[in-house]
Chain A
Amino acid sequence: MKPLRVTAAVLTAVLLISACSGQTNDAKAANPAPTDGTLTVGLLGDIGQPPDPDIYYANNGLAIVLNTYEGLVQYEDNLDTVKIAPRLATSWEVSADKKVYTFHLRDGVKFHDGTAFTSEAVKVSLQRRTDVKGGAAYMTAGVQSVDTSDPSTAVVTLKEGNAAFLDYLASPFGPKMISPDGLARNKGSDDAQTYLTTHDIGSGPYSLSAVQTGTKYELTQFDGYWGTRSPFTKVELPVYNDSSALELAFDKGDVSAIVAALPSSDLKKYENSAAADSYLLPTLQSALVTLNPSGSFFKTAQARLAFLQSLDREKLIPQVLGNRSELATTLYAKGMIPDGADKQNITYNPEAMKTYAATLPAGSTMTIGYATGNPNAQQLATIVAAQMATLNIKATAQGYPTAQVFDWVNDPAKGPDAFFDGNNGPDGGNPYMWGHVFWDKSGGINYFACDDPSVDADLDKAVLTGDNALFVSAAEKYAASGCYLNFSYNKDWVVAQKWLTGVAESHNIGANELNFAKLGIKG
């Protein structure tokens, strides 16, 4: 047994030393470009839901939906403000009452099953969105009729005016055009949902050629695509369930690009790397803090505002989020309201919280929640929990799985006192899409149902006409409740091999994903 113990001791030491020396591969040379026309984009975790555009409502697999399907419009690529650009519609007119939207459709567009794109496809696709009742079915709920008398013009009439409708269509989660013939052929008993789990009948630059749920997704270039094509005839999207494994695969050159999947603690490594390119691209996403008025801790707006003021964002953001984020100065997403008129008036002032803490009984407890699997939110929550201890408040930081987070609204008292959202955002660029989800009682991301009915009414009124002044006053009213803090504006972080070009040009503020058709190989 003696030599065994010695061996064990030696091995432990070797392990320690090799762990220490495992860090010296930063100065590695750049990896070579692929010669077989295959682009490999690593996914962190499975896409989770079928890549059906009327069902898929998550971020991870959005690249698959957005490269196989196209909408009528999209957000302008490579731009950090909200601007709607043509896609399958080349131009459009909106009636003054925001009720009638007329789209002039692109010529020569074919779906992957060979069907030509006409106004009929617009009608069928919008109807399917409503019928399938997925998470983003609200976008077409207001559609009254689609006039298809001219195959190259689609006239969409809404039940009532909606200034956000174009943003619904431009949203990455918005309605996408699906081949009406293909849908009819594979209708089954569920509007072709089964078929679209493993196939696609969109018009995008790529078609879905293989699905291995949990392992790999594969896209093949569509020969009949109307737009420009990239040198990549095949795109593979392998699933990695661990971020370190994904990172090692990238460093070795087995993965060409990673979109928004690596932890911020790696930011410095890639920003200073000579072997890879690191891109920070604009989005509508933010880190957010939500406070729970139903718990014992934050019953009053005064207490909530005191807590929000105690967060030293100027120090926390660079430390935790790095260059990926900047201090948020507005209540909506960056650039949503012209000139930043929706100013957020929360500045660092720890005194108010000290005063409030002094009024509390000794040993008061506070729970600070974060979404499981978001290291940034976890870190923020942990730091703030530690800071609370200096005020004699016993705070814990706790991770919650998604299903639980969305359940709080049914009984807010079950939720934590505060919730740190590492990254969240609206479906699209209209202020209504932000205000509604975060502040409206029925919005969905108003986790603790902290509600002001007059704010809801203002938002509902503003969306009919797109009245920015009304949007601003609603935001200011809600901010006074202290339930909500726009913590920081976040960017998308893309890490790509040196040979990959067109990364910034293939990304837009809404999508948080790359348009693979616009990527290229250097030289």
Chain B
Amino acid sequence: MSDAAVVPRRFGVRSRTPAVHNTTLNRLLVGLLLLVTLIALAARLLAPDDPIQPAGDFNLPPGSPGHLLGTDLIGRDLLSRTLWGIQASWLSALAVVLVGLLVGGLIGLVAGASGGWVDNVLMRLTDLFLALPGVLVAIAIVAALGPGLVHTLIGISIVWWPYYARIIRGEVRALAARPHVEAARLAGASRGRILRRHLLPGAVPTAIVTASLDIGNVVLLLAGLSFIGLGQLAPAPELGADTARALTQLLAQWWVPVIPGLAVMLLSLVANLGGDALRGLLDGRR
């Protein structure tokens, strides 16, 4: 594993080893994932003001006394609103990813482990869902169930699981062809045992890494849906909705849309870097 130096630097891709050396940094970044989750859960305690009630004058710029990040169009404290928004966005994204991971993971696992017609049927179904334009499906669901964050989340979840099904199925198929699994099969291990002992543990790291990288995508998708009028209803806070609704103020009072927008970036960045770091840690252990 010491051949990193031999690799042509010009092309600039190192083989995977260096990630292992950065264990401390990686742990720190994974810690960030947990920290954001903690902040999301503790928004109630951290926020100085009510996120819904006006707490000061309209459109106060950041740094105003009593309002560190300023106030919005109707005088609500932006720091409080952003903290509560982090709660809504982050926990929503976690929920969608978790549902996708469980449903898609199960389908992918079964399809990959079974092969044959089961695999065929499940993957055709997955492909069908993958071919649905997600935004439109979300619109359809919201139109049928009525607007609101929960309904939007249901809509996203319906189009979200197929990616996991595909990825997990691919991973399981690859694992199934590996010598140690082959050996277990030849040794007469039951299908259930192979699934439990070899395929499931092998697929879990990929699944977790994909999921943590994916949280950022869901946060961004929620923001995009808010832009076209779906998602969290006012006056409840949610970062994407707060950014999209205040977009007309961008030139006059930039901070009102930019602060929740930066929080979206922050969440997405944390999810991305944290996911990468998690991959590094898991690879190092393997």
List chain A positions with a Cβ less than 8 A from chain B.
1-2, 5, 8, 12, 15-16, 19-20, 22-23, 242-244, 247-248, 263, 265-266, 268-269, 319, 372, 375, 378-379, 381-383, 385-386, 389-390, 395-399, 401
When chains A and B are docked, how far (Å) is the Cα of A382 from the Cα of B241?
Answer: 13
Docked-complex contact B250 and A386, CB < 8 angstroms: no
A243-B248, A397-B233 known; A386-B73 Cβ under 8 A: no
Known: A263-B249, A265-B73, A383-B74. 7 other contacts (CB 8 A): A12-B262, A263-B252, A265-B252, A266-B252, A385-B235, A396-B236, A397-B235
When chains A and B are docked, how far (Å) is the Cα of A167 from the Cα of B269?
Answer: 60
* Closest Cβ–Cβ distance, residue A250 to chain B (whole Å): 11
A395: B residues at CB distance < 8 A: 235
B76: A residues at CB distance < 8 A: 386
Docked-complex contact A19 and B245, CB < 8 angstroms: no
Docked-complex contact A375 and B234, CB < 8 angstroms: no
Residue B137, interface by CB 8 Å: no
B273: A residues at CB distance < 8 A: 5, 8
When chains A and B are docked, how far (Å) is the Cα of A438 from the Cα of B107?
Answer: 55
**Chain B contact residues, majority secondary structure:** loop
* Closest Cβ–Cβ distance, residue B149 to chain A (whole Å): 11
CB 8 Å contact bits of B34-65 with A (1 = contact, 0 = none): 00000000000000000011100011000000
The contact of A12 among B54, B233, B247, B265, by CB within 8 Å, is B265
A1-B22, A16-B262, A265-B248 known; A22-B53 Cβ under 8 A: no
The contact of A389 among B52, B73, B245, B247, by CB within 8 Å, is B52
For this complex, 12 residue pairs linking A to B, each with C-beta atoms less than 8 Å apart, are A2-B25, A15-B262, A16-B258, A243-B248, A244-B250, A263-B248, A265-B59, A386-B53, A389-B52, A396-B234, A396-B236, A401-B229
Closest to B273 in A: A5
The contact of B147 among A19, A268, A379, A398, by CB within 8 Å, is A398
User: What 10 A-B pairs come out closest when comparing CB atoms?
Assistant: A263-B248, A397-B234, A265-B252, A383-B74, A396-B233, A244-B250, A266-B252, A382-B234, A385-B235, A375-B248
Docked-complex contact A244 and B235, CB < 8 angstroms: no
CB 8 Å contact bits of B240-280 with A (1 = contact, 0 = none): 00000101111111100010001001000100010010000
Docked-complex contact A385 and B53, CB < 8 angstroms: no
Interface size of B in residues (CB-CB distance below 8 Å): 31
When chains A and B are docked, how far (Å) is the Cα of A375 from the Cα of B59?
Answer: 15
Docked-complex contact B269 and A8, CB < 8 angstroms: yes
A398: B residues at CB distance < 8 A: 147, 233-234
List chain B positions with a Cβ less than 8 A from chain A.
22, 25, 52-54, 58-59, 73-74, 76, 147, 229, 233-236, 245, 247-254, 258, 262, 265, 269, 273, 276
The contact of A396 among B74, B235, B251, by CB within 8 Å, is B235
When chains A and B are docked, how far (Å) is the Cα of A265 from the Cα of B58?
Answer: 11
Docked-complex contact A23 and B234, CB < 8 angstroms: no
When chains A and B are docked, how far (Å) is the Cα of A397 from the Cα of B273?
Answer: 36
* Closest Cβ–Cβ distance, residue B200 to chain A (whole Å): 30
Closest to B76 in A: A386
When chains A and B are docked, how far (Å) is the Cα of A244 from the Cα of B233?
Answer: 23
Docked-complex contact B248 and A386, CB < 8 angstroms: no
* Closest Cβ–Cβ distance, residue B281 to chain A (whole Å): 13
* Closest Cβ–Cβ distance, residue B49 to chain A (whole Å): 12
Closest to B62 in A: A20
A23: B residues at CB distance < 8 A: 251, 254
Docked-complex contact B234 and A19, CB < 8 angstroms: no
When chains A and B are docked, how far (Å) is the Cα of A50 from the Cα of B25?
Answer: 61
Docked-complex contact B53 and A247, CB < 8 angstroms: no
When chains A and B are docked, how far (Å) is the Cα of A8 from the Cα of B272?
Answer: 12
Closest to B143 in A: A404
When chains A and B are docked, how far (Å) is the Cα of A395 from the Cα of B25?
Answer: 46
B252: A residues at CB distance < 8 A: 263, 265-266, 268-269
Residue from B25, B53, B252, B276 having most chain A Cβ neighbours under 10 A: B252
When chains A and B are docked, how far (Å) is the Cα of A244 from the Cα of B52?
Answer: 26
When chains A and B are docked, how far (Å) is the Cα of A385 from the Cα of B236?
Answer: 10
* Closest Cβ–Cβ distance, residue B141 to chain A (whole Å): 16
* Closest Cβ–Cβ distance, residue A184 to chain B (whole Å): 44
A5: B residues at CB distance < 8 A: 273
A390: B residues at CB distance < 8 A: 53
Residue from B25, B235, B250, B253 having most chain A Cβ neighbours under 10 A: B235
When chains A and B are docked, how far (Å) is the Cα of A293 from the Cα of B76?
Answer: 31
When chains A and B are docked, how far (Å) is the Cα of A435 from the Cα of B53?
Answer: 36
B262: A residues at CB distance < 8 A: 12, 15-16
* Closest Cβ–Cβ distance, residue B138 to chain A (whole Å): 15
The contact of B74 among A12, A242, A244, A386, by CB within 8 Å, is A386
A20-B254, A244-B251 known; A386-B147 Cβ under 8 A: no
* Closest Cβ–Cβ distance, residue A296 to chain B (whole Å): 16
Docked-complex contact A19 and B258, CB < 8 angstroms: yes
Closest to A9 in B: B269
A268: B residues at CB distance < 8 A: 252
When chains A and B are docked, how far (Å) is the Cα of A12 from the Cα of B261?
Answer: 12
B254: A residues at CB distance < 8 A: 19-20, 22-23
Docked-complex contact A382 and B229, CB < 8 angstroms: no
When chains A and B are docked, how far (Å) is the Cα of A16 from the Cα of B63?
Answer: 14
* Closest Cβ–Cβ distance, residue B50 to chain A (whole Å): 8
A243: B residues at CB distance < 8 A: 248
Residue from A12, A266, A269, A382 having most chain B Cβ neighbours under 10 A: A382
When chains A and B are docked, how far (Å) is the Cα of A266 from the Cα of B59?
Answer: 12
The contact of A244 among B53, B234, B247, B265, by CB within 8 Å, is B247
The contact of B249 among A242, A265, A386, A389, by CB within 8 Å, is A265
Closest to B248 in A: A263
Closest to A373 in B: B229
When chains A and B are docked, how far (Å) is the Cα of A132 from the Cα of B261?
Answer: 48
Docked-complex contact B52 and A386, CB < 8 angstroms: yes
When chains A and B are docked, how far (Å) is the Cα of A410 from the Cα of B196?
Answer: 57
Closest to B247 in A: A244
When chains A and B are docked, how far (Å) is the Cα of A248 from the Cα of B252?
Answer: 11
Closest to A4 in B: B273
When chains A and B are docked, how far (Å) is the Cα of A395 from the Cα of B53?
Answer: 12
When chains A and B are docked, how far (Å) is the Cα of A143 from the Cα of B235?
Answer: 50
A1: B residues at CB distance < 8 A: 22, 25, 276
